[in-house]
Amino acid sequence: MKILITAFGPFDGRSENASSLVLRELKTAFPAIRSRILPVDSVIAPARLRQALRSIRPDALILLGEAAGSKTIRLETTAWNELDFKIPDIAGRHPVSRPIRTGSPASRRSTLPLAEIHQRLDAAGHPVSLSDDPGRYLCNQLFYLALEFLDPLAISCPAGFVHLPLARDYPTARAADALGHLIREIGC
């Protein structure tokens, strides 16, 4: 099974991103996963994701990001067709209250088996929650576009977004363990 996992690089003056730290650790435990670390750039990140989907044609897609202030691993249920950046991306773009795609649905739903993943993570002792608000920054944008990109590429696979607490709030090794459970739950 080909699994593609994406993470983000640093932004907002920080030198690291919890999602890319976890992805690097996951690559050690699961060397067969395909991965991409995407810049926090609202133009380049979607283009690189689409390119990765075309070339890899994954059987499962997991998008990772970090959520400052979160104390749980957040399984995002819904992506919203809205950009409303509180801070600019790394290229200085700062869209406010505008759609990601004009004329597209207001929301798109994760196709990951979220209830089963939640149960498995909870049973393994990880703080986990379901969330219907991935924010309106790049995490939401990439989540929304990923679900849109799959159909025209004729890729049918479970896909969704997971927000991780910052590394200082939840150790990278623990977060990687949680993602290992998620990977095993979806059959990898």
Catalytic center residues: 76, 139, 163
Both structure tokens of 9 = 């690089």
Rounded CA gap, 31 and 27, in Å?
5
Q: Tally Cβ neighbours within 10 Å of residue 23.
A: 24
CA nearest to 2, candidates 155, 162, 181: 155
Closest CA to 160 of 84, 64, 85, 83: 64
Going through the chain in order, the beta strands assigned E by DSSP cover 3-8, 34-38, 60-66, 73-76, 78-80, 107-109, 128-131, 159-164
